[in-house]
Chain A
Amino acid sequence: MGRGDRGRGLHEEHIERAVLPNGAVVLSRYLPDPDIVAICIGSRAGARFEDDRTAGSAKFLEKLYLQGTSRRPGPELVQRPVTIRGGSVGTLAGSEMVVFQSQVRSVDLDVMLDVLSDVVLESTFSQDRIENEARVILEELNARKANPNVLAADIFFPAVFGSHPLARSTAGDLENTPRLTRETIVGFRDQLVVGANTVIAVAGNLQSDQAFAHVERFFSRLPKGEPAPPSDVPSPPPNPGRIEERAGSAQARIIMGGPVPGLRSDDRFPLSVANAVLGGSGFRLFREIRDLRGLSYDPSPAVVQFPDAGLWMAAAGTDPANLDEVLQIMDREIRRLAVEPLSDEDMTNAKEYLDGSLVVGLETFAAQAFQMIRDETYGVRVLSQAHREGIQRVTTEDVQRVAQQYLRPEEATLVVIRP
């Protein structure tokens, strides 16, 4: 397999796994070059675990984990030891996970572990920081509304997911964010950011036995707790309809799409091939909308999947006068997948593309560590031989079947943002 012979391939056999007494799973991928170590920690504490009472809590975790610990009481102190070494520490609230990310030069490993464990275990979530971060989150929500591309997505996702837990916004909640009390936020955190719910991945210039020993030393104090409920709510039915909104000054933005099954369904393989044909390898939307007609700069398809549910979408920005034409072309190109079998060349290109773009996309240790926690948390391994084989097995009939079943413009949710 070429590159894999040198220990570099992106397969599961290059990842070592251990479980700490507190239940946290530790993954390690040792590669000596470049001289960098990245750590990624994911806890199943994302927005989907919120309810009406706790809505907005995940976003607060993203903010408050960088706002002060007992030893480093202010936001200016928390990341400083890593920042002054050119490294980074970040947090991110997703739908499934709240994620902690950091990377440094190997020589600064101890500093990174000290800061990251301080952040995860000792953040104070003080009342005055909560009030400050509530203002910050509301400013961010304001900014999201002012950007038509972001606004379109913020309307589209909940419209497709409906009453599914994935409909919860990861950006905060206009009504509930200012209402959340410290007790509620800390309760959400203490229930979910626990060993039984957490995966820690280390990638880079640190041998696996050392990685396990370091992580155990720094993170064994994370309480064990209980795992969050499994993510197994099926995708909702399609929610056809058109939602119009105004934003921006010059360009219209459209998104069309609908539900698809989650990653646990083997339909993810033909869906990725279909998406590649529309975008990355077959350029069908790009060719018809941009290259032949110059109607948009950025026509782009996507399939976004979580363990139990997901969605497909096609988006583009265009002059308001061209809106209908762009929609017609999207509609036609997506229907075409259902009626016209892909050529052998389309299939080969899409499969090669999916294989190669994984290698290109996972160039950095930070990207690899993120993929490792995602694979472990979702229970669906992209970094595996099984994934590669799954892609290779896809037939033209499979693609046609999933296109007929899911990629249905006639039942699509359509969001249109006009200036």
Chain B
Amino acid sequence: MSDDARRDEDAKRDDLPNGMAVLTRERDYADVTAISISVRGGSRNEHDDTVGAAHFMEHMFFQGTPSRPTSDAVFGPISARGGWLNAYTSFENINFQAVVKNEDFGLALDTLADMLVNSLFAEDRIDKERQVVLEELIRGKNDPRRYAVELFFKNVWDEHPARNLPIGSRETLANSDRRVLVAFRDANFLASNMVTAVVGDQKHEDVVERVTAAFERMPNGRKPEFLTAPMPPAKARRIEETIPGTQAQIVFGLPAPGADHLDTYALDIVSATLGEVGRRLVGEIRDRRGLASGVGSSYSTLSDVGCWWAMVGTSPGNVDQVVELITEQIRRIRSEPISAGDLEDAKSYIEGRAVLGLQTSIAFAQYLADREAIGVEPPLDEYLRRVASVTVDDVERVAQAYLDPDTATLVLLRPA
């Protein structure tokens, strides 16, 4: 981790004796408090034949502890106060979170700590919960957009471990028995491998004291190794499948560097120019031709790898035209320098979005916890400084380096 990433100007920080980092942002005006606990380790750290076990395991933390023996007893008290409790498993981390009225902070923290320290992982609950996870899996497959993006992610990264998606498959879930789930837990759920972030009307010292007490019995050990992998080469691929319905889905994209790379900041500008601010894709595809109701596009990053992708749902007859229009816009950003005005607009957008996008207590807590747990991205102000220093030449250079449309991965789902 670079020295820069340690400054944390946007949050107060303490490292507990057991190695857990605690980050807080005091908001004396807030009505609610959010807790976000991020554990490093996710689907990219799983074995190919049991991928999905991390996510399945995450479900088991909601299935009972000695003092909260059922999931009702886990969820109920927080929910009955109008708050909520949830978790997600991603490529590189697992995040547990709660949002409650300020006065219920203790209840939420104690519940989360009990889940993380004492969950039973009872055999019969594991078999039942596997059924729920399978329902979650087929629910995702039922949504054609989601399915198209999943296919893209599975392919664009070639052999890089990021190709393992958190949800897994029927086969890998069947392979994931209690032993597999517990092995993942024991390897990763260590205080030194966790970050707790709290945002709300809470005093930092008070939070540190309560987190220390709540996680006193959290297992500890040496922070596990987190293996990185080289960025995969871009390869031209075309993945076609048929789906029900009358609409085709297109995902078009390429591998790109991860958050640990200095080209990240220029790629954020490229992405904003093609997408939200410059509207180059939506301008051609939707505004000018009405070929789709919108164009989703994003530069998504893990720590050591990322990808840029665009996604469009359209009538089957428009598919070739839409793919051509996306290709054209990528060629344009590679060959024609963006104007100084476009560059300034993209920078100003990214800065403003940082404030507005991190408005809710949970958005900010999650941002802090995940950033710290994964440990690659610098604090917000440093991130914004780096975005501000991107030049017109940087944009052209990264577009040429990473976005060659002749090496793109194309996912195409057409109605049968």
Instruction: Report A's interface with B, CB cutoff 8 A.
Output: 2-3, 8, 31-36, 67, 74-76, 80, 83-88, 103-105, 108, 131-137, 139-140, 142-143, 145-149, 246-251, 253, 280-281, 283, 287, 290-298, 317-319, 348-350, 352-360, 363-364, 419
Is A359 a contact of B350 with CB atoms below 8 Å?
no
Q: Which residues of B contact A147 (CB under 8 A)?
A: 142-145
Residues of A within 8 A of B345 (CB): 80, 84
Residue among A36, A146, A287 with most chain B CB within 10 A: A146
**How far apart sit A143 and B72, CA to CA, in the bound complex (Å)?**
37
In the complex, what's the smallest C-beta–C-beta distance from B26 to chain A, in angstroms?
11
- Set of chain A residues within 8 Å of B143, measured between Cβ atoms: 147, 149
In the bound complex, residues from chain B placing their C-beta under 8 Å from that of A145 are: 245-247
Q: Can you spell out 10 A-B residue pairs with CB atoms less than 8 angstroms apart?
A: A83-B276, A131-B290, A142-B245, A294-B135, A317-B142, A349-B76, A350-B80, A359-B101, A360-B83, A360-B100
A34 touching B72, Cβ below 8 Å: no
Min C-beta distance of A14 to chain B, whole Å: 12
Q: Are A148 and B360 in contact (CB under 8 A)?
A: no
A251-B141 contact in complex given A84-B345, A132-B287, A143-B293, C-beta closer than 8 Å: yes
B83 proximity list for chain A (CB < 8 A)? 356-357, 360
- A87 near B289: Cβ-Cβ < 8 Å: no
- B-chain residues with CB within 8 Å of residue A253 when the two chains form the complex: 142
| 10 tightest A-B CB contacts, nearest first | A356-B82, A86-B352, A294-B131, A135-B290, A146-B245, A33-B29, A349-B80, A357-B82, A250-B138, A86-B353
Q: Taking each of B32, B101, B142, B279, which has the highest tally of chain A beta carbons within 10 Å of its own beta carbon?
A: B142
Is the CB–CB distance between A142 and B291 below 8 Å? no
Are B244 and A246 touching (Cβ within 8 A)? yes
Question: What are the residues of chain B within 8 A of A359 when measuring CB–CB?
Answer: 31-32, 82, 101
B59 to chain A, nearest CB (A): 10
Q: Once the chains are docked, how many angstroms separate the CA of A120 from the CA of B354?
A: 28
Residues of B within 8 A of A350 (CB): 80
In angstroms, Cα B250 to Cα A139, docked, is 14
Q: A34-B29, A352-B80 are known contacts. Are A319 and B279 too (CB-CB below 8 A)?
A: no
Question: Could you say which residues of chain A place their CB within 8 Å of the CB of B131?
Answer: 293-295
Residues of B within 8 A of A250 (CB): 138-139, 141-142
The distance in angstroms between the C-alpha atoms of A108 and B355, with both chains bound, is 13
Judging by beta carbons under 8 Å apart, are A247 and B245 in contact? Answer: yes
Interchain nearest-CB distance for B270 vs A (Å): 16
In the complex, what residue of chain A is closest to B243 when comparing beta carbons? A249
Q: Give the distance to chain A from B275, nearest Cβ to Cβ, in Å.
A: 11
Q: Given the complex, which residues of A lie within 8 Å of B84, measured CB to CB?
A: 360
Interface string of B55-77 (1 = CB under 8 A from A): 00000000000000011100110
Other A-B contacts than A294-B129, A348-B80, 17 sampled, CB-CB below 8 A, are A74-B287, A86-B352, A131-B290, A136-B292, A139-B290, A139-B315, A145-B245, A146-B243, A248-B142, A249-B141, A251-B138, A281-B76, A281-B79, A317-B139, A360-B82, A360-B99, A363-B31
Which residue on B lies nearest to A147, using beta carbons? B143
Across the interface, do B354 and A8 meet the contact criterion of CB distance under 8 Å?
no
A298 to B138, CA, bound (A): 12
CA distance A131 to B288 in the complex (A): 11
By size class, the interface of chain B is 35 or more
Separation of A249 and B148 alpha carbons in the complex (Å): 13
Chain A residue, CB-CB nearest to B249? A146
Q: Is the CB of B360 within 8 A of A363?
A: yes
Query: Could you tell me if B102 and A3 are in contact, using CB atoms closer than 8 angstroms?
Result: yes
Which of chain A's residues has its CB closest to B357's CB? Answer: A86
Answer yes or no: B128 CB below 8 A from chain A CBs: yes
Decide if B277 touches A8 in the complex (CB within 8 Å): no
Most buried by A among B276, B277, B346, B356: B356
Query: Which residues of chain B have C-beta atoms less than 8 A from A35's C-beta?
Result: 355
Q: Restricting to B105-132, which residues have a CB under 8 Å from any CB of A? A: 128-132
Q: A139-B313, A359-B101 are in contact. Are A294 and B244 (CB under 8 A)?
A: no
- Specify which chain B residues have a CB less than 8 angstroms from the CB of A86 in the assembled complex: 348-357
In the assembled complex, the Cα of A104 lies from the Cα of B348 at a distance in Å of 12
Known: A86-B356, A280-B79. A297 touches B101 (CB 8 A): no
Distance between Cα atoms of A318 and B142 in the complex (Å): 11
A283 near B72 (CB under 8 angstroms)?
yes
Residues on B with beta carbons closer than 8 Å to the beta carbon of A287: 71-72
Q: How far is the CA of A249 from the CA of B79 in the complex (A)?
A: 34
B202 is an interface residue with CB less than 8 A from chain A: no
Is B223 an interface position by the 8 A CB rule? no
Contact between A248 and B75, CB atoms less than 8 A apart: no
Per the 8 Å Cβ criterion, residues 337-376 of B in contact with A are 345-346, 348-357, 359-361
A349 / chain B contacts, CB cutoff of 8 Å: 76, 80
Q: Quick one: closest B residue to A132, CB to CB?
A: B290
In the bound complex, how far is the Cα of B138 from the Cα of A149, in angstroms? 13
Contact of A248 among B244, B352, B354, B361 (CB under 8 A): B244
CB of B283 within 8 A of chain A? yes
With contacts A76-B287, A251-B139, A294-B131 taken as known, whether A104 is within 8 angstroms of B82 at the C-beta atoms is no
Q: Does B103 contact A (CB under 8 A)?
A: yes
Pick the residue among A83, A85, A292, A319 that contacts B135 (CB under 8 A): A319
B289 to chain A minimum Cβ distance, whole angstroms, is: 7
Flag if A139 contacts B291 (CB, 8 Å). Answer: yes
| A295 contact set on B, CB distance < 8 A | 131, 135
Complex-state Cα separation, A79 to B287, whole angstroms: 13
Residue of A nearest to B314 (CB): A139
Q: Are B81 and A88 in contact (CB under 8 A)?
A: no
Contact indicator per residue, chain B 230-254, by CB within 8 Å of chain A (1) or not (0): 0000000000000111110000000
Q: Which of B278-300 contact A (CB under 8 A)?
A: 279, 283, 286-293
Q: How far is the CA of A248 from the CA of B320 in the complex (A)?
A: 24
Residue with the highest number of chain B CB atoms closer than 10 Å, among A133, A246, A249, A283: A249
Cβ of B136 < 8 Å from any Cβ of A? yes
Whether a CB of chain A sits under 8 angstroms from the CB of B27 is yes
Tell me if B139 and A298 are in contact (CB < 8 A). Answer: yes
Residues of B within 8 A of A85 (CB): 348-349, 352
Contact B246–A146 (Cβ < 8 Å) = yes
CA distance A2 to B70 in the complex (A): 33
Give the distance to chain B from A36, nearest Cβ to Cβ, in Å: 6
Are B135 and A318 interface neighbours, CB within 8 A?
yes
How many angstroms between the C-alpha atoms of A231 and B361 in the bound complex? 37
Contact (A297, B135) CB under 8 Å given A146-B244, A317-B142, A364-B360: yes
Residues of A near B279 (CB, < 8 A) are 75-76
Which residues on A sit within 8 Å (CB–CB) of B79? 280-281, 283, 353
- With the chains together, A292 CA to B100 CA distance in Å? 26
- The winner among A33, A108, A251, A356 for most chain B CB atoms within 10 A is A356
CA distance A353 to B134 in the complex (A): 30
- B82, B289, B353: which contacts A354 (Cβ < 8 A)? B82
Given A8-B29, A360-B101, also A294-B130 (CB < 8 A)? yes
* Nearest chain A residue, comparing its CB with the CB of B342: A84
A355 contacts which chain B residues (CB < 8 A)? 82
C-alpha spacing A87/B350, complex, angstroms: 10
In angstroms, Cα B315 to Cα A297, docked, is: 31
Beta-carbon contact of A140 and B293 below 8 Å: yes
Contacting residues, chain B, for A354 (C-beta < 8 A): 82
Within the complex, the shortest CB–CB distance from B370 to chain A, in Å, comes to: 20
Which one of A67, A87, A348 contacts B356 once the chains associate, using CB atoms below 8 Å? A87
Closest beta carbon of chain B to A325's beta carbon, Å: 12
